[in-house]
Amino acid sequence: MRLPNIPSSFVNQSNRIDQGVKSGELTRGEAKELRAEQKQIAGMIGEAFADGQLTKAERQEIRGAQRDASKNIYENKHDGQRRTGTPRADARQDRQTDRIAEGLKSGELSFGETRGLLRQQARIGRAEEAFKADGVVSAKEKAILERMQDRASGDIYEAKHNTKQNKYI
């Protein structure tokens, strides 16, 4: 029996959703709904292949669901809604927070240094939320966030490499 290209279509649609999230064409809510639809199709595929046979009716039902899903992906990606997120800034802030936690754990940062660095991260987070408030994070606002994070990164490095140590570790 020749396997239809149903699984490859399923993978392609999942990749299109991921790409839409990365590019900002899909909001989190849209991506969540589209992924739920993909899960539903995956269930249909699993049920259809459970008995080892894929009937013509099952194939048509799955392909119809995939066509509908593909249409929904296209419509959501082109509906004009943009994700206001800043995934690059978010990931960088997560890494900086991890660096601070590692520094405290290893004794490279004192409690006072850790408190100051975490306050700095909180200020960056508040600035990011303020920039998102109007629904769009402009290039200028992204540049401001990047400068704030550059300074924070330097401050983390300096604090981890100075002579103060956490004497309780």
Amino acid in position 93: Q
User: For the chain, which residues make up each domain, given as ranges?
Assistant: 6-77, 87-160
Confidence of residue 149 (pLDDT cuts 50, 70, 90): very high
Nearest C-alpha neighbor of 109 from the set 150, 35, 159: 159
- CA dihedral sign of residues 98, 103, 109, 112: positive
pLDDT higher than 60, residue 2: no
Q: Mean pLDDT across the stretch 22-29?
A: 76
pLDDT higher than 70, residue 38: yes
